[in-house]
Amino acid sequence: YLVPAFDAAFTALFGALAYKYFIKDLKLVPIPLIIAFILSFFLKQGTGITIPVCAIISIVVAYLLLKREQKKLQ
């Protein structure tokens, strides 16, 4: 009876942890969301692949946005 709950645990944990960062800067949301949509619906990948890929993409996007903001301030 508990197996379905454990199947969604990884997704729920990522969502809860990522929410506080995404809500602070909504510019971080579109690219990982589009990639997650493509991986999930078109390529039929599960959350075991989609979430780590989107997490890495989110970190790269945040880094690039930070560098762009720092360049503007100079």
Amino acid at 10: F
Does position 70 have pLDDT exceeding 70, yes or no?
yes
Q: Do residues 50 and 40 lie in contact, with contact meaning Cβ atoms separated by under 8 Å? A: yes
Top-confidence residue, 14 or 68: 68
Amino acid at 4: P
Does position 3 have pLDDT exceeding 90, yes or no?
no
Over the stretch 40-59, which tens digit does the pLDDT of each residue have? Answer: 888 887 777 888 888 899 89
Residue 40: predicted pLDDT: 86
Does position 2 have pLDDT exceeding 70, yes or no?
no
